[in-house]
Amino acid sequence: EVQLVESGGGLVQPGGSLRLSCAASGFAFSTHDMHWVRQVKGKGLEWVSAIGKAGDAYYSVSVKGRFTLSRENARNSLYLQMDNLRAGDTAVYYCARGYCSGGTCHPHVDVWGQGTTVTVSS
Amino acid sequence: QSALTQPPSASGSPGQSVTISCTGTSSDIGAYNYVSWYQQHPGKAPKLMISDVNKRPSGVPDRFSGSKSGNTASLTVSGLQGEDEAEYYCASYAGSFTLVFGGGTKLTVL
C-alpha cells in the first residue's frame, strides 16, 4: 500500500523552529518528486515546497529563506526544516507525492499523507 | 504567486451535472496543460480527481471530467451522487516546480 506518514508537528513560539518528517512506503521513493502543501483550518490549500528526484528544492515566496526541504532516499524520507516561524505558518502540513503515470512524471501531486499540525503561538 | 479563483460554492440535485470554474493567468493555467483537480471530504486528505487538464487517474469515475480554455479551467461532475458532496480545489503548474491552488469550491448535493 502506498503510504505517506508525516510527523514532527506541534506547538512552537513565534521565531522558533520545527522539523517535519515524512516517511514514505509502498513505492519507489527515489523516482518521485515530493511536495509539502499546507492548509489553514477551514481554508484552502497552499503549496509550500517541492524537491526533485535529484534533490533540487523549490519554495513558495511566503517561506523562502525560512524553510529548507531535503530528502534521504536511502531512508525513504522527506524533511522540512522550518525556522523563524510566524503565526501565519499555523496550518496542517501535508506531505504529497509527485504524480507519475506510464513512466512519465507530471507536475501534480497524487498521494497525500494525513497531515501534521503546526501551531505557532506564544 | 496569487491563488487561482474559484466560486466559493456550487450545488446540484442528484443525477444533474454541475461545472466548477477555475480562473488563473497566462503564467499558470494559460501557460501549461497541467491543471489538476482535487476532492477533499471534511477531515480527510485531498484526492486527485483530474490531472493534465482532463485525465482521470485510475479509479476515478468517468462522471468527472475536466477542460480548459485560455486562462480558465473547469471541472464537470455529471450524474451527481451524494458522495460527490465535498470541497473541490483546482491547481496549476506555474513553472519551476511551483504549484498554485484555487481557494476551493464547496459542492453541495441537494
Q: How close is the nearest chain B Cα to the Cα of A108, in Å?
A: 7
Asked whether residue A100 carries a pLDDT value surpassing 90, the answer given is no
Q: pLDDT tens digits, residue range B64-91? A: 999 999 999 999 999 999 999 999 999 9
pLDDT for the residue numbered B15:
97
Q: pLDDT tens digits, residue range A13-38? A: 999 999 999 999 999 999 999 999 99
Give CA–CA dist B61/B66, Å, rounded.
12
Give the number of residues written for chain B.
110
Considering chain A, what percentage of its residues have pLDDT values greater than 70? 100
Q: How close is the nearest chain B Cα to the Cα of A42, in Å?
A: 9
* Contact call for residues B97 and A33 (beta carbons, < 8 A): yes
Contacting residues for A78 by C-beta, under 8 A, at least 6 apart: A21, A22, A24, A34, A36, A51, A69, A70, A71, A72, A95
Q: Alpha helices of chain A — where are they, by DSSP H?
A: none
DSSP letter string, chain B: -PPBB--SEEEE-TT--EEEEEE--TTTTTT-S-EEEEEE-TTS--EEEEBTTTBPPTT--TTEEEEEETTEEEEEE-S--GGG-EEEEEEEE-STT-EEEB--EEEEE-
Q: Which pLDDT band holds residue B96 (cuts at 50, 70, 90)?
A: confident
Q: pLDDT tens digits, residue range A89-99? A: 999 999 999 99
Asked whether residue B1 carries a pLDDT value surpassing 80, the answer given is no
Q: Which residues on B lie below 8 Å from A56 (Cβ)?
A: 97
Q: pLDDT tens digits, residue range B26-52? A: 999 999 999 999 999 999 999 999 999
Spell out which chain B residues touch chain A, with contact meaning CB-CB distance below 8 angstroms: 1, 3, 32, 34, 36, 38, 45-48, 51-52, 57, 89, 91, 93, 96-104
Asked whether residue B13 carries a pLDDT value surpassing 90, the answer given is yes
pLDDT for the residue numbered B78:
97
pLDDT for the residue numbered B97:
87
Give CA–CA dist B10/B33, Å, rounded.
24
pLDDT for the residue numbered A105:
86
Q: Which residues on A lie below 8 Å from B91 (Cβ)?
A: 45, 47, 108
Residue A114: DSSP 8-state: -
Q: Which pLDDT band holds residue A104 (cuts at 50, 70, 90)?
A: confident
The verdict on A101 touching B (C-beta cutoff 8 Å) is yes
Average pLDDT over residues B91-103: 93
Q: Which residues on A lie below 8 Å from B31 (Cβ)?
A: none
pLDDT for the residue numbered A101:
82
